[in-house]
Every structure is written in structure tokens, then in C-alpha cells.
Amino acid sequence: EVQLVESGGGSVQPGRSLRLSCAASGFTFDDYAMHWVRQAPGKGLEWVSGISSNTNNRGYADSVKGRFTISRDNAKNSLYLQMNSLRAEDMALYYCVKDIGSNMVATILDYWGQGTLVTVSS
């Protein structure tokens, strides 16, 4: 059974940093691209970032480009999101999501974690 368990969320002040982690199990992690998708309270879904299985290809939404960095450790079956210079508009539930493929050519999101909540407030 595919499991994606996020951690690292919490409450931070604007301008500070936070690192999210996602522990994956139940599938061959290094065969698949992975993503972060967020959902602000009561709002819709927003793709944040993705990384290919071999880490050669990474992408970011314009809203986070230059502030967030996605990475993965295939030996540890883990996905990360380093979030710097956090803003109030970054406040959301952050989902770790598995891609149906390896290289983000066709990003279909077939398994989702339960999310970790990031609150940005002074």
C-alpha cells in the first residue's frame, strides 16, 4: 500500500524558514517523480513544485520560485521542501504527492498524503 506521510509543518513568522519532509513507502520511490501541492484554508489546489525521479528536472510555481527548493533522497525514500522567506500567502496545507510517471512530462498525481499545515503569522 502506498503511503506518503508529511511532517515539518508548524507556525512561523513572516520571513522565516521551514523545511517539510515526506516519508514514502509501498512503492519503488526512485522510479517516480514527486510533487508538493498546497491548499489554503477553504480554497482550491495549487501545484507548488515537482522533481523528477533522478532529480534532473525540477519545477516551481511562479509564486514560490526563488524562495522554495525541492529535493529528494532516494536512499531514504524521502521528499523535501525547503521554504524560505515565508509570506502570509504561503499559509496552507501542503500535500506530498506521487506522480504516475518518472520525469514530469505528463504530471498525473495518483497518490496523495494527508498533508502538513503551515501557518505564517506574526
Partner 1 sequence: EIVMTQSPVTLSVSPGERATLSCRASQSVSSKLAWYQQKPGQAPRLLIYGASIRATGIPARFSGSGSGTEFTLTISILQSEDFAVYYCQQYNHWITFGQGTRLEIK
Binding site for partner 1 (CB under 8 A): 35, 44-47, 50, 59, 62, 95, 100, 106-110, 112-115
By beta-carbon proximity to partner 1, the closer residue of 84 and 109 is 109
Name the minimum Å distance from CB 114 to partner 1.
6
Place of cell 525540477: 58
Name the minimum Å distance from CB 63 to partner 1.
10
Name the minimum Å distance from CB 109 to partner 1.
6
| Torsion-angle region of 54 (φ positive above 0: left; ψ -120 to 50: alpha; else: beta) | alpha
Tally the C-alpha atoms within 13 A of residue 67's C-alpha that lie toward its C-beta: 17
By beta-carbon proximity to partner 1, the closer residue of 75 and 108 is 108
By beta-carbon proximity to partner 1, the closer residue of 18 and 96 is 96
Q: Is the dihedral of CA 32, 35, 70, 106 positive or negative?
A: positive
By beta-carbon proximity to partner 1, the closer residue of 12 and 22 is 22
Which residues, at least 6 apart from 22, have a Cβ–Cβ distance to it below 8 Å?
4, 5, 6, 7, 34, 78, 79, 80, 96, 113
Neighbours of 20 (CB within 10 A): 24
Name the minimum Å distance from CB 35 to partner 1.
8
